[in-house]
Structure 1
Amino acid sequence: MEKTLAELAEYVQGTIVGDGTISIAGVAGLDEAGQGEITFLANPKYRPKLEQTQASAAIVAPDVECSGLNLLKVSNPYLAFAQILTLFSQKFHPPAGIHHTCQLGEEVSIGDLCAIGAYVSIGNHVRIGDRTVIYPGVVIGDRVTIGSDVVLYPNVSLLQEVSLGNRVIIHSGTVVGSDGFGFAPVGGQYYKIPQIGSVVIDDDVEIGANVAIDRATLGETHIHRGVKIDNLVQIAHNVVIDEHSVVVSQVGISGSTKVGKHVTLAGQVGLVGHIRIGDHVMIGAQSGVTKSVPEKSILSGSPAVDQRMWKKSQVSLLKLPDALKRIRAMERKIQELEEQLQSLAESGNE
């Protein structure tokens, strides 16, 4: 595929500085791009590389100038890069059809133009929408509902009574609908609590590789529209994650916790159970959250506190060794002064 720079500018609603008639056949980074490719500058710290790139054009912010290089100026270079990359990306999904090794249960409904790969196992009373792609080794349990334009990569497991919306993407090794971690202690042992709820995943959710999303004990575990979940995340029973939140790798969310809209949980964040995270909250990497968080808060640390306070504490922490040296020196000086005073007092009594 080739597009002129002018066509790309129209596609992303940008303006051109330079030659709009040049042909663009691909997208690459500042270091790797060559003739016929377009690159992008989203982070100002890479500005010097713009002068050295061999790309035919670059996507930049409106205030960026670079003589000798064709520029496509947009208000959000990173978004425009993503849009143009989507335009040029090639999808190599398998062709429509059902592989002869696929195992189908009873009363399975499969939409038009679906591609179902080798050794897929589909249970009873399953509904699959149009144009859905299911890669080899996927396991789909009984009474599962899958929307249209869904992609399930190899070895995904959707256990019984899971529901997926439209345009959901789930990467390899993820398990949706495993039992929640529920046990009642009795006589020094643990009695398993049946997990009879479901998991509901709404439209436009993407889930990374090797994620575990547990079914609810009662009711549902619910991942709302537009949520993006990275690899190696644990989401426990009855958790709710509201629209357009981002959950980064190795996050653990304990049971019955509610996460609001547009929340960002950075890598290795841990949330205890039965708390609420307000809308537009940002929680820094490796933070441990032990209580509910009001909306628009920014937290870091373990236990998590306001990020400004956490930053100050980290600066202070680095100064502790020197402070301890000064304190010990002052203690020694005080001890010397006390000994001198004691000696003077004893001399005065003689």
Structure 2
Amino acid sequence: GTVSFLSGPRYLGTFQQSKAGAVLLRAEHADEPAGPVTRIIVDDPAQAILQVVPALFPERPPSWGVDPTACIGAGATWQGEVSIGAHAVLGKDVSLGARCRIGPGVVLGDGVIVGDDCDIGANSVCHEGTRLGNRVRLKALAVIGGDGFGFASGPDGHRAIRHVGGCILEDDVQVGSHSAIDRGSLDDTVIGAGTKIDNQVHIAHNVRTGRGCLIVAGVGVAGSVRLGDGVILAGQVGVVGHVTLGDGARVSAQSGIGQDVPAGADMGGSPARRQRDYLRAQSALYRVAKIINQLEDLVSKRGDRG
């Protein structure tokens, strides 16, 4: 049978109908009248399942070695065992830490530095000036350290500003597929340790995030933004350039941030405001729409009588 977990009372209805062979749950839910008979009491079901899944579904061990079709530049080095896939390209003086896995078609530009236990998915690109810490994971088709969108406009049109800063992903960062993080123009772009970035996210030049941020799919963060520790940007949030979001700030989906956000604030809407104010405003709009419909009905009825 299957193994599942009950994370909280919100899912009690689903639990009571579940056919799972065993369920991880907290002590306060152990005596629920319906649901699976086999109940394993744990302090935190969500954390416990993190240990159960690898035990039941162990990862396939990597095949260490360098594929014969890989292109290895002069001076490229690695520590101990690594896996370098078919048609991967390592530029000059690339440095790989121990136990790195480089997927098929990956391109690492000249001088790129990769820490221990990193996993770089197929066809990802790390441009020159990129530095990855330990245990960094890039999913397929991530692009790290490319030139930012910087131009000097004049009579001759828009001339690209050469970007010479680096792009640093600290320890335990994860970047999703089709996401791009640009290098800094003069200073570095830095993604803080433990930050997780979803698919199709764009992080512009000179951005610096704190530790443990969560950035969900479709987010766009413009240049020179500062995110504090533990900031959460929900799906499709947009952040204008040169603003700061304090530690623990949270922004709801599809919101637009146009000014600084204090630490711990919950924001929503576009332009974003405090979440509670945004929800009240949305509720008022719905009430206004209802009143307009009622007025239109009254006018229509009076017209029929006329």
Which of 92, 98, 102 matches 1:130?
98
**What does 1:181-330 correspond to in 2, within 5 Å?**
181-187=149-155, 189-324=157-292
Alignment partner, residue 150 of structure 1: 118
Say what the alpha-carbon RMSD is for the aligned residues. 1.9
Shift of the 116–325 alpha-carbon distance from structure 1 to 2, 3 Å rule, reads closer
- Look at both structures and tell me which one has the larger radius of gyration over its CA atoms: 1
Alpha-carbon distance between aligned partners in 1 of 2:64 and 2:156, rounded to the nearest angstrom: 54
TM-score by length of 2: 0.92
Q: Indicate yes or no: 2:21 matched with 1:56.
A: yes
Residue identity matched to 2:19? Q
1:45 and 2:36 matched: no
Partners in 2 of 1:240 and 1:268 — Cα distance?
A: 19
Q: Any idea what SS the aligned residue of 1:63 has?
A: helix
Residues 225-283 of structure 1: CA deviation (Å, up to 9, x unaligned): 00000000000000011100000000000000001101100000000000000000010
Given the alignment, which residue of 154, 174, 182 partners 2:142? 174
Q: Which residue of 2 aligns with 1:336?
A: none
Instruction: Report the AA paired with residue 76 of structure 1.
Output: D
Q: Structure 1: which amino acid aligns with 2:16?
A: E
Deviation of the 1:92 alpha carbon: 2.6
Q: Secondary structure at the match of 2:27?
A: coil
Q: Which residue of 2 aligns with 1:75?
A: 43
Aligned equivalent of 1:341: none
**What amino acid maps onto 2:10 in structure 1?**
K
Cα deviations by residue, 1:39-67 (Å, 9 ceiling, x for unpaired): 11114233133334333321012210246
Instruction: Return the match for 2:107 from 132, 139, 157.
Output: 139
SS in 2 for 1:279: coil
- Provide the rounded CA distance (Å) in 2 between the counterparts of 1:160 and 1:129: 17
**Which has the larger displacement, 88-97 or 112-121?**
88-97
Shift of 1:303: 0.2
SS in structure 1 opposite 2:28?
Answer: coil
**CA separation in 2, counterparts of 1:317 and 1:48?**
33
Instruction: Name stretches of at least 5 consecutive residues in structure 1 with no aligned partner.
Output: 1-33, 332-350
Percentage of matched positions with identical amino acids: 35
The amino acid of 1:57's aligned partner reads A
What SS does the aligned partner of 2:14 have?
helix
SS of the aligned residue for 2:48 comes to: helix
